[in-house]
Structure 1
Amino acid sequence: MLAPFLIMLREGLEAALIVGIIASYLSQTGRRAWLPAIWVGVLLAVALSLFAGAAIQILANGFPQRMQELFEAVIGLVAVAVLTGMVFWMRRAARSIKAALHADIDEALSHKGSAGTWALIGMVFLAVAREGLESVFFLLAIFQQSQDGAAPIGAALGVIAAIVAGWGFYAGALRLDLRRFFGWTGIFILLVAAGLLAGSVKALHEAGLWNGLQERIYDLSRILPETGPLGTVLSGLLGYREAPTLGEALVWGIFLAVTLTLFLRPHAGALPVRPQTAGRK
């Protein structure tokens, strides 16, 4: 439950920050009449994400058992790719995202008549849809690989918390050190992605496509089962496996060694700056 909550909080918070920056800029520049276009873009993006998730799930239910294992592996690999890409994109873009959005808004509204409205809707739609589709792949992967029956509740609570936080940023009632927040959650997401990657290797084996490095490193199923309370938390947070194979452990360790090294290294030529905060002054 904790892993889906934190992931959806971060995904939802990214979308909420983007929407909040756009809405705040329109209000500050005397263009509140354009605000309804934001909600049209948000609703279209949410609808697309829900449709995509339902379509993929319905398609998967019609597969035979071995194909379902392959599908689980593919979804897990896609989720690892989008989560990792999201972490590194936010690491690069966090400092300039506000200025970039302001420039995009001015360009969109420079069009005459309804063209400006549709340009703004499209801008919001693409920004929110990206977060929504990333969330779809993550949730499909975590629901397929997780033993935690409360995972959907955690995901829903994460979305609700992100919406509340987003409104707080827009209203100026909430401030957050974005650089620190995205830094710590970035490390957490890389840990979750490593667990999903190891789970995908297991699914590839069950699908009959990977049969190497199947020696068990240890078996803690009687001491710390994945279905137990602590095992469920460790599985969601750190990718814990009660009886991992050598292949699963290798991809888990190699992935973390590479991604954490790249993520934690200082920005090239970066100078110390004051922590960024969200919310209007």
Structure 2
Amino acid sequence: MLVAYLIMLREGIEAALIVGIIAGYLKQTGRERWMPSVWLGVALALALCVVIGVALNYTSGEFPQRQQEFFEGAVAVAAVAILTSMVFWMKKAARSIKAELQHSVDAALRPGDRQGWALVGMAFLAVGREGLESVFFLLATFQQSVGPGVPVGAALGLLTAVGIGVAITYGGMRLDLRRFFRWTGVFIIFVAAGLLSGALRAFHEAGLWNGLQERAFDLSGILPVDSVLGTLLSGLLGYQDSPAIGEVLAYVVFLVPALILFFTQSRPVRSPRPA
């Protein structure tokens, strides 16, 4: 539940910031009449994401067992790629995203017959990207978790993000976005490592991967995965009480370089002191 909440909170805040920047710029430049086009683009993006998510989830349930395991592994790998690219993209684009969006609004509203539709398309693509990232993450999480915790956490995270977005845009609320995206980025890297480890396990159950299946360790007697703490660590960090060697290697080989790259790129570049 907590993982779904935090992921959807981050994704929702990203989408809310994008819409808020567009709305603020339209108001600042006296073009509020184009806001219905923005909301239409947002609504179309949300509708498309819901349709894709429901279709993929329904289709996976129709597969035979081995094909379903393969599908779960493939979705998990896709979620890892999307979440990781999102973390690094946001870190890189955060400084210039406002200027880029304002430039895109100006370009979309140049005189012509397709002014409104260009703005619809801009909002659709901006929100749709965040929505599809969420769809693949939630699909991967639904397949690895049982119970209502994931959908409830996702819904609460999205509602919180909407409230924060409204407060930032219209209420003057200030949020340290740099620190927020930095630490949620670290959290998402851990989540992605857990998803990748789970994908390898799914591929083994599908009969596609049979190497490195010896047990790396067995903590089931000390910290079973179905205990309260084990469940929390499983959801947050992808913990398993008796993982295979291959699963541990996949986790570590992804996690360590990703964290090093993330923190290395986060360091400000210092200009050399004059002699």
Q: 1:190 to 1:148 in 2, by over 3 A?
A: farther
User: Which segments of structure 1 move beyond 4 Å, counting only runs of 4 or more?
Assistant: none
Which amino acid in the other structure matches residue 71 of structure 1?
F
Which amino acid in the other structure matches residue 15 of structure 2?
A
> Hey, what does 2:72 align to over in structure 1?
72
Residue deviations 1:171-226 (CA, integer Å, cap 9, x gap): 14311111111100000000000000000000010000101111112222243222
Q: Write the distance in 1 (CA, Å) between the matches of 2:42 and 2:69.
A: 33
Q: Write the distance in 2 (CA, Å) between the matches of 1:177 and 1:271.
A: 22
* Greater Cα offset, 117-126 or 214-223: 214-223
2:47 paired with 1:34: no
Which amino acid in the other structure matches residue 130 of structure 2?
E
> Hey, what does 1:277 align to over in structure 2?
none
> Hey, what does 2:170 align to over in structure 1?
171
2:179 paired with 1:180: yes
1:122-201 to 2 correspondences below 5 Å: 122-147=121-146, 149-201=148-200
Q: 1:158 to 1:268 in 2, by over 3 A?
A: closer
Which amino acid in the other structure matches residue 184 of structure 1?
W
> Hey, what does 2:57 align to over in structure 1?
57
Gaps of 5+ in 2: none
> Hey, what does 1:110 align to over in structure 2?
110
Could you tell me the TM-score, scaled by structure 2's length?
A: 0.95
Residue deviations 1:27-73 (CA, integer Å, cap 9, x gap): 11111101111110110000000000011111111100000000000
How many angstroms does 1:267 deviate by? 5.2
Which amino acid in the other structure matches residue 53 of structure 1?
G
> Hey, what does 2:44 align to over in structure 1?
44
Gaps of 5+ in 1: 273-281
User: Are the counterparts in 2 of residues 141 and 196 from structure 1 also a CA contact under 8 Å?
Assistant: yes
User: Are the counterparts in 2 of residues 148 and 232 from structure 1 also a CA contact under 8 Å?
Assistant: no
Q: Write the distance in 1 (CA, Å) between the matches of 2:266 and 2:64.
A: 47
* Greater Cα offset, 208-217 or 225-234: 225-234
> Hey, what does 2:100 align to over in structure 1?
100
Q: 1:252 to 1:148 in 2, by over 3 A?
A: farther
Q: Write the distance in 2 (CA, Å) between the matches of 1:143 and 1:27.
A: 40
Could you tell me the TM-score, scaled by structure 1's length?
A: 0.93
Q: Write the distance in 2 (CA, Å) between the matches of 1:67 and 1:116.
A: 46
User: Are the counterparts in 2 of residues 190 and 256 from structure 1 also a CA contact under 8 Å?
Assistant: yes
1:257-268 to 2 correspondences below 5 Å: 257-266=256-265
Identity over aligned residues, as a percent?
58
> Hey, what does 1:203 align to over in structure 2?
202
User: Are the counterparts in 2 of residues 83 and 134 from structure 1 also a CA contact under 8 Å?
Assistant: yes
CA RMSD in angstroms comes to 1.5
> Hey, what does 1:119 align to over in structure 2?
118
How many angstroms does 1:236 deviate by? 1.4
Q: 1:267 to 1:223 in 2, by over 3 A?
A: closer
2:219 paired with 1:212: no
> Hey, what does 1:244 align to over in structure 2?
243
User: Are the counterparts in 2 of residues 75 and 137 from structure 1 also a CA contact under 8 Å?
Assistant: yes
Q: Write the distance in 1 (CA, Å) between the matches of 2:142 and 2:90.
A: 25
